[in-house]
Chain A
Amino acid sequence: MSREVKGMTGDEAVAWAAKLVNPDVVAAYPITPQTIIVERYSDFVNNGEVDTSFIPVESEHSAMSACVGASLTGARVFTASASAGLALMYEILYVASGMRCPIVLAIANRAFSAPINIHGECTDQVVCRDTSWVSLFGESAQEAYDETILSFKIAEHPDVMLPAMFGIEGFIVTHALERVETLSKQQVEDFLPEYRSTKYRFNPDEKMTFGSLVLQDYYMEIKRQQEEAMQRAYTVTKDVMAEFSEMSGRKMEIIEEYQLEDADYAFVSYGATAGNAKAVVDRLRNKGEKVGALKIRLYRPFPSLDVQEALSGVKAASILDRSATFGSPGTIMQTDIATALYGKENVPTLHGYINGLGGRVLTLPEIEDIYEKTKDYHDVGMTMTTDWIGYRT
């Protein structure tokens, strides 16, 4: 299969992939480092290269509200945000998932204020873990490109009908120029059929009430539907990624295992950090260390079983978490992994490392230090530790 290759930044990759999807409505508000997605996409709209109605709104709260309204008509809807913008959307994230709107949201992960900072950090997305959105992380511009397309397929699946978000780290991925293998318009059209379920959408022939008041007597039933849809989203995501891999020729799975088969120690990470972790695995393997890396691509629904299987037999895992949490029993990803592994046999000790906040670089030597630290913790019998790495005291 001949592949076309282009140089793109992460943001551009998202915009170009969205162009192939050609959503009916895009409502977005610019925020660094997501701005380029919206800028490029509005170019496409202006030049008539897409059929999208572009709604330039006055805030992210309005952006997501407009997306919900559009999605309820059955339209295919896309938007993008980051950090403070995502936080402003937060209220409507629940409305979107509660009203079962399969909106796709690209996030250029950025640190929260204060102090104000525009650089990469995944906190903005991981704190949306309970919003009932399918949540994916991408490591590179290529994954940003691919996840843009497959997110629509997961979200719109009749068994799911939930919104989906995917994140790439601000500047580290969004603004770095990378090699991206592109897809053709035909490939995307075949992968993502125009037909979508129109049940419970606005319809001139059938009068419905949306967003009605639901109190004690029915609320839990409606919320339970979301949980069941989330559980189905796990299988659907696996299937969609398998189908996507076949179509694109690029392997895409909910978790990615790197040199884990015989590993005694493992790095667990998500997003851009996974690339560095794999580089360190190569370095350490050259020194004869039995180490591997696990990348978590699907964050919600959390792939508990896959993580458990991947880490089975590993002695100790270092969890590299580029997100901040305070007063927590572990890093955000660590607490999820600990829950998934609790009470199971053959599980590693878990050592969480909060790193890279506000775009700080986590260097390869630092990851090697983390490796040594984890080994020390493990050797003295500590089963669960959490540290901050890469700051001055």
Chain B
Amino acid sequence: MEKKEAPDEFKRWVSEKWGSSKLPLGGTVPYHTAYAYKTGDWSAFKAYIDKDKCISCMNCYYYCPDSAIIMDDNLKAECDLEFCKGCAICAKNCPADAIEMLRVTR
């Protein structure tokens, strides 16, 4: 899968932890889609998929409210952990019991 990157300036804000004197006015940010702005860093659980158990039914793919499930080249489910919010809807709907929710420790 093609990984798109956040604009350089935005990456610098985050890495350099910009403050009030450097940030743009009014919370205005360079436009980009969620490919660039990772949104899943706060989740308490993450979905881990056992590809050997996956039967390629794509239930998880359609149920995921955040489109964090990607189907790989062999049509096996894969979870993009940078977007997974840990809701466990995929795990509940997996007929093969291939998805396990694991607690995130930081």
A interface residues with partner B (beta carbon < 8 Å): 98-100, 161, 199-200, 207-212, 214, 218, 221-222, 224-225, 228
Residues of B within 8 A of A99 (CB): 26-28
CB-contact partner of B24 in A98, A200, A211, A224, under 8 A? A200
Q: Check if A98 sits within 8 Å of B30, measured CB to CB.
A: no
Name B24's closest neighbour in chain A (CB-CB): A200
Query: Which A residues are in CB contact (< 8 Å) with B30?
Result: 207-209
A99 vs B29: C-alpha distance in the bound complex, in angstroms?
12
Most A CB contacts (10 A, CB to CB) among B25, B26, B28, B29 go to: B26
Q: Are A208 and B25 in contact, CB atoms less than 8 angstroms apart?
A: no
Closest to A101 in B: B26
Task: Flag the segment in B15-23, B43-51, B78-86 that touches A.
Answer: B15-23
* Contact, CB under 8 Å: B31 / A222: no
Bound CA–CA A135/B30 (angstroms): 31
Chain A hits for B32, CB < 8 A: 209
Residue contact B31 to A218, C-beta cutoff 8 Å: no
Q: Which residue of chain A has the shortest Cβ distance to B7 in the bound complex?
A: A207
* A209 / chain B contacts, CB cutoff of 8 Å: 28-32
User: Which of A207, A214, A221, A224 counts the most chain B CB atoms within 10 A?
Assistant: A221
Collect the chain A residues with CB atoms within 8 Å of residue B27's CB.
Answer: 98-99, 211-212, 214, 218, 222
Q: Are B29 and A98 in contact (CB under 8 A)?
A: no
Separation in Å of the B37 CB from the closest CB of chain A?
9
List of A residues within 8 angstroms of B25 by Cβ: 100, 161, 199-200, 225
Q: Which residue of A is nearest B14, CB measured?
A: A217
**Nearest CB in chain A: distance from B24 CB, A:** 6
Interface residues of B (CB under 8 A from A): 18-20, 23-32
CB-nearest residue of chain B to A220: B20
Q: Is the CB of A221 within 8 A of B28?
A: no
In addition to A99-B27, A209-B28, A224-B19, 10 A-B residue pairs with Cβ atoms within 8 Å of each other are A100-B25, A100-B26, A200-B26, A207-B31, A212-B27, A212-B28, A214-B27, A222-B23, A225-B23, A225-B25
Give A211 to B32 CA distance when docked, in angstroms. 14
Please name the residue on chain A nearest to B42 by beta carbon. A215
Residues of A within 8 A of B23 (CB): 218, 221-222, 225
List the A side residues contacting B31 at CB < 8 Å: 207-209
CB distance from A215 to the nearest CB of B (A): 9
Docked Cα-Cα span, A225 to B18, in Å, equals 12
| Residues in B whose Cβ lies below 8 Å from that of A218 | 23, 27
Minimum CB–CB distance from B32 to chain A (whole Å) comes to 8
Q: What is the chain B residue whose CB lies nearest that of A207?
A: B31
Partner of B29, one of A199, A208, A225: A208
> In the complex, A210 Cα to B20 Cα: how many Å?
17
| B residues less than 8 Å from A98 (CB atoms) | 26-27
Query: What is the CA–CA distance of A214 and B37 in the complex, to the nearest angstrom?
Result: 12
Q: Closest residue to A221 on the B side, CB-wise?
A: B20
A157 CB to nearest B CB, Å: 13
Closest to A222 in B: B27
Task: Report the separation of the CA atoms of residues A210 and B30 in the bound assembly, to the nearest whole angstrom.
Answer: 9
Q: Which 5 A-B pairs have the closest CB atoms?
A: A207-B31, A224-B20, A100-B26, A221-B20, A99-B26
Chain A residues within 8 Å of B26, by CB: 98-100, 200, 210, 222, 225
